[in-house]
A and B are shown apart, each in its own frame.
Chain A
């Protein structure tokens, strides 16, 4: 337990010392919010049937963006680099369990993702007086499910790919189209209908759907498909990442 706490704290410090991951998790979503906020202000995004202003649509979408980025980039790169550089090899000579190593990663990236979302929500509230129509606990639950199932993808990539470079490239190849097509980086309503059909194949789409729904107060029951896909991913992520964990 002591080692888990120390390790988590250490990984948190390392996360914040890495300018790229800290920027994309904490700062970049805010920049996006202010860009879109200055375009749409409090008007709804054209084409949505929401009674919410654009910001109310964008905050859950950008939450999905943060989840997609943190799940694929820091998780994948950190673990793959740790293995490639012999950092895990050094840890292997100590009594520390691989579960502690993995758990510390999950906790840190989860907290950082949460911090990014919190900044986003506070900025939305203070600058654009955004309205939240959902239930806070339901939203937290949805956020947790989405985050963990996406971290699973990162663990799978880190575990299956032969080295850090290929893991990172594959993570980017998966991430960028997903951000654009799933409606996480801007509303799907702004894109042609064919893109919407394509987006059904992207895991991040289900994150966007669930979070946007929970934000405006829809029930979990009306999002069973999203929940099923995400829960399946989570399960797969746990099984594969535990099985593919290698020290070197």
Chain B
């Protein structure tokens, strides 16, 4: 796969603060690349350097083969941008915004089709100020897709949206990718990054502290997997002994939590299934009545917190 974005040693300081401090990564064609991190980690600054909106202090940035600082004008014909803080005039209607922005590009796609695809058709005559947060973001995605871009930047697209709107936006982003476009997005929702992105860079204090696929990031944590279930009445003491060695058992009220052994590496899926089937077969074999059995997997949030710490920022 071709590399469409290359960043080497990117640095950007505001006064004494290094907002981005030596960041290097690559984005490949056709992937959804996510940047996650606490507020002030440097996500937006990095994206804005890629977009050509900010001038890096040092480092090399190539987007679709060009330097955004030198050929920003050419780049904005081939990229679509959704910015964290931007707006349209309050009284501008949805169709008017699309019609106006389409006129800026020599080869804009048909905005009427975008209107349908983004579910904005019944809002076409609604003024911008009257749109909900999710509708505004959908309109911004539509504006970003007008030039039929190869690469789309989405900066904190779903911040402040309710879960329904967020899931609708995720579907749209996946749809953008299936149409052969690459996406770079930033978010501070771990769930969003985990579900949406092919690869994720975790940023903290202006540096990339981890970069990999969501699955690999989670494996790398070595976090234990848990099997949780409820029993009526006391758990027979024989049950714990019947489980194979590297397992820890904990009883909280009627709930039993079985931890997979720490540090057991290897293919997580396999080991996870192993633990569940062992627990279930022992429960069945000993005739113990149980219900509400579920497994709890470590997720990206666990990875994130272990890398960036639990201290409150700001």
Q: Which residues of A contact B (CB under 8 A)?
A: 2-3, 5-7, 10, 13-14, 17-18, 82, 85-87, 89-90, 92-96
Asked whether A87 and B88 contact (CB < 8 A) given A6-B99, A93-B83, the answer is yes
Question: Is there contact, CB below 8 Å, between B99 and A14?
Answer: no
Q: Is the CB of B10 closer than 8 A to any CB of chain A?
A: no
- The residues of A that contact B104 with a CB separation of less than 8 Å are 3, 94-96
Q: Are A10 and B143 in contact (CB under 8 A)?
A: no
- Cβ A87 vs Cβ B87 within 8 A: yes
Contact A85 B76 (CB under 8 A): no
The verdict on B167 contacting chain A, using a C-beta distance below 8 Å, is no
Which of A5, A10, A90 contacts B83, CB < 8 Å?
A90
Cα distance A2–B107 in the bound complex, in angstroms: 12
**B89 near A: Cβ within 8 Å?**
yes
A72 to B53, CA, bound (A): 30
A13 touches which of B96, B101, B143 (Cβ 8 Å): B96
B100: chain A residues within 8 A (beta carbon): 3, 6-7, 10
Decide if B103 touches A93 in the complex (CB within 8 Å). Answer: no
A145 to chain B, nearest CB (A): 29
Give A237 Cβ to nearest chain B Cβ, in Å.
Answer: 24
Please, could you name 13 A-B residue pairs with CB atoms under 8 Å apart, sorted by A?
A3-B100, A3-B103, A10-B92, A10-B96, A14-B89, A18-B91, A86-B85, A87-B87, A89-B85, A89-B86, A93-B81, A93-B86, A95-B105
A3 to B106, CA, bound (A): 10
Contacts of A5 in B (CB 8 A): 103
A6, A85, A86, A94: most-surrounded residue (chain B CB, <10 A) = A94
Would B99 and A90 count as touching, CB distance under 8 A? no
Task: State the Cβ distance, A38 to closest chain B Cβ, in Å.
Answer: 35
Once the chains bind, are A14 and B53 in contact (CB under 8 Å)? no
Contact, CB under 8 Å: B73 / A95: yes
Bound Cα distance from A92 to B85, whole angstroms = 12
- Measured in the bound complex, the distance between the Cα atoms of B105 and A18 in whole Å is 28
Chain B residue nearest to A87 in the complex (CB): B87
Chain B interface (Cβ < 8 Å from any Cβ of A): 51, 53, 73, 76-77, 81, 83, 85-89, 91-92, 96, 99-101, 103-105, 140, 143
A85 to B86, CA, bound (A): 7
Contact of B87 among A17, A86, A95 (CB under 8 A): A86
Please provide the 6 A-B residue pairs with the shortest distance between their CB atoms, ordered closest to farther.
Answer: A90-B86, A86-B86, A6-B103, A93-B81, A94-B104, A17-B91
Q: Measured between alpha carbons, how far is A185 from B86 in the docked complex, in Å?
A: 39
Q: Is the CB of A93 within 8 A of B53?
A: yes
By a CB distance below 8 angstroms, the chain B residues around A95 are 73, 76-77, 104-105
Return the chain B residue nearest A18 by Cβ: B91
Between B77, B81, B86, B92, the greatest number of chain A beta carbons within 10 A of the residue's beta carbon is seen for: B86
Contacts of A86 in B (CB 8 A): 83, 85-87
B105: nearest residue on chain A (CB-CB)? Answer: A95
Report the separation of the CA atoms of residues A90 and B76 in the bound assembly, to the nearest whole angstrom: 12
Q: When chains A and B are docked, how far (Å) is the Cα of A33 from the Cα of B103?
A: 41
| A6, B104: Cα distance in complex, Å | 9
Set A87, A92, A93, A96: member contacting B89, Cβ < 8 A? A87
A82 cross-chain contacts in B, Cβ below 8 A: 89
- Among residues of A, the one whose C-beta sits closest to the C-beta of B85 is A86
Q: Closest residue of chain A to B153, judged by CB?
A: A93
CB distance from B105 to the nearest CB of A (A): 7
In the bound complex, residues from chain B placing their C-beta under 8 Å from that of A2 are 103
Contact status B89-A90, CB under 8 Å: no
* Chain A residue contacts of B88, Cβ below 8 A: 87, 90
Knowing A6-B99, A14-B92, A17-B91, the reply to whether A87 touches B86 (Cβ < 8 A) is yes
A3 to B146 Cα, complex, angstroms: 14
Give chain A nearest CB distance to B153 CB in angstroms. Answer: 9
In Å, the complex CA distance between A95 and B71 comes to: 11
Q: Within the complex, what minimum Cβ distance (angstroms) separates B54 from chain A?
A: 11
Q: A14-B92, A90-B143 are in contact. List 9 more A-B contacts (CB 8 A).
A: A3-B100, A5-B103, A7-B103, A10-B96, A17-B91, A18-B91, A86-B87, A93-B53, A95-B104
A92-B96 in contact (CB<8A): no
Tell me which of B76, B83, B101 contacts A89 (CB under 8 A). B83
Residues of B within 8 Å of A18, CB to CB, are 91
Q: Which residues of B contact A14 (CB under 8 A)?
A: 89, 91-92
